Amino acid sequence: MRNGQRIAIMAGVSAAVVSVVGFGAYSMLGDDQDDGRGTAPAASDGRPGDTEEPAGPPSEEEIRAASEAFLTAWAAGEPADAARLTDDPEAARAALEALSADAAFTALTLEPGEPAGDQVPFAVEAVVSYEEEEPAELAWESALSVVRDADTEEPVVAWEPAVMHPDLADGLRIETGPLAEAPPVEVLDRNGAELTAEEFPALAPVFAELGERYGEQAGGSAGAETRIVDAEGGTVASLLQLSEPAAGQVPTTIDPEIQRAAEAAVAEGGQSAVVAVQPSTGAIQAIANNPADGFDTALEGSYAPGSTFKIVTASLLIDRGLAAAGAAHPCPQFFEHGGWKFQNLDEFDIEGGTFADSFAASCNTAFISQAPELDDADLGNHARDVFGLGLDWQVGVTSMDGTVPTQSDAQMAASLIGQGAVRMNPLTMASVSATVQSGTFRQPYLVPADFDDRQLAQAPQGLSADAAAELRGLMSRTATSGTAAEAMSGLGGDIGGKTGSAEVDGQEKPNAWFTGYRNDLAVAAVVPESGHGGEFAGPVVADVLRAAP
């Protein structure tokens, strides 16, 4: 215990508690002041009325009185009163009020020591009570100086931030708050085992978003500390740690084996992205981008999907009675619509072929030729109502859920082959294949909906059983003897596929696309500015499909 006076204010107590232990003959509650919070008394030099000669340095009695009055007001939670006892009331009040607002002190005890010249050391003991944390004690040593006010010549405390804490300076303050912006989370795979960025680096950005989105809901804690921060809120020094961060748990539908295959598949080439979805549930089982720390093309990309979108167009044409797998269907070298002349790759044509022949060979004009029979809004409406594209998907992380805007003339025709303003990504195109495989749109999701009571998107209509079977037949033939056959070679089970090569203005090479399914796994990939879908995106999808159970 110091040989001095202990000044304290406890939570819920409105007046300072002062006990004189032996601080000379001066009493804070003596006849010279009413409550210890006014201006400290100035010593008389014994010559009343003599105001011409400047006062000298504060006497020991004045130093004691001024320091004790300041400390009493501060401890009592009266920053305005304490600030008036300094040589810079405005700055002192702002700093003391900020301390009161930010530090979460519910009890403050100040114990002055013996003055040494104009310096008065004092000890500070604070009780920090922050939100749900257990109260904790924080103690430190500080000091103040007493000087004469330049205008009034009264003894006052020389204000500087270091009065509150020796490590404070201009622009710094004390605050109590969380150790992290959000509580940490453990992200779990479909089996309840923890997923880590060390094992699955492609998921690191997904982990970060899941932490931000679900940190508090997952039952974790960000921890808490009292610290010195700068003007931008950056930590300069930690003074007291109230608790360590504690991780909550966020479940996902990631299958570690399929995820491992997806990351290996995209790592083999340059920029690429792939997503795997379980058709029977909509569960997202793998997400991978290369580079892993770049833009999330897999879930948020917005690319023209090229001929992979012919799956959706084929569904529309079948639904409208404009095409049937085994029926004769035109595939000319060229077809003009809306002032544009469309053609097939290498200007091929199919004479006397069926719609299945055209789909397997990815004949553009087989689809463009039906544009005159359609209304401008037909494709977008069908994509939304049957395949769920463009609905508000609740995946559990940020996603771009497909756009098929209403267009007219040549742009409408281009949309039928996945060009124009149609925009997709691997997530949406994996969902298209999943819808065909299962016959029903099930909104893809990464975090189970019951974890946070999300409502998954529902497509207003569905594929008829006959239409679904016909589409599966088209995709199966394409995977076994069409443009997807080379990539899908060697894959057994129930398989289907579709290639795409999307032309982009200003690019020398098209964006390569591929989507397909094998048993209860649907996968789609894009490899930007690479070439033909079967050659560049096909192997990525096939490698992931090999991991299908």
What does the pLDDT look like over 440-450, one tens digit per residue? 999 999 999 99
pLDDT digits (tens, 9 = 90+) for 4-41: 444 444 433 333 333 323 333 222 323 333 333 344 44
Q: Which of 230, 17, 240 is nearest to 139 (CA)?
A: 240
Residue 138 host element (H or E): strand 136-148
What local confidence, expressed as pLDDT, does residue 182 receive?
Answer: 81
What local confidence, expressed as pLDDT, does residue 51 receive?
Answer: 52
SS3 content of the chain, % helix, strand, coil (to 5): 30, 25, 45
What local confidence, expressed as pLDDT, does residue 28 receive?
Answer: 30
What local confidence, expressed as pLDDT, does residue 180 receive?
Answer: 84
Angle, helices 426-438 vs 378-387, to 10°: value is 70
Q: Specify the DSSP class assigned to residue 207.
A: H
Residue 471 has pLDDT above 90, yes or no: yes
Measured at the CA of 519, the angle between CA 516 and CA 524, to 5 degrees, comes to: 25
Query: Which tokens sit at 152?
Result: 């009034």
Query: Which tokens sit at 264?
Result: 């290996």
What local confidence, expressed as pLDDT, does residue 523 receive?
Answer: 98
| Position with higher pLDDT, 543 vs 43 | 543
Q: Which of 543, 522, 22, 506 is nearest to 275 (CA)?
A: 522
For residue 335, the SS3 value is: strand
Distance CA 514, CA 306 (A): 10
Distance CA 531, CA 372 (A): 30
Query: Which tokens sit at 98?
Result: 């900020």
pTM above 0.75, yes or no: yes
Domains and CATH numbers, the chain: 5-168 (3.10.450.50), 185-250 (no CATH), 256-545 (3.40.710.10)
Residue by residue, what is the 3-state secondary structure of 63-87?
Answer: HHHHHHHHHHHHHCCCHHHHHCCEC
Residue 504 has pLDDT above 70, yes or no: yes
What local confidence, expressed as pLDDT, does residue 22 receive?
Answer: 31
CB 310 within 8 A of CB 367: yes
User: What would the DSSP string read from start to end of 33-70?
Assistant: -SSS-SPPPPPP-S-TT--SSPP-SPPHHHHHHHHHHH
Proportion of the chain above pLDDT 70, given as a percent: 90
Residue 314 has pLDDT above 80, yes or no: yes
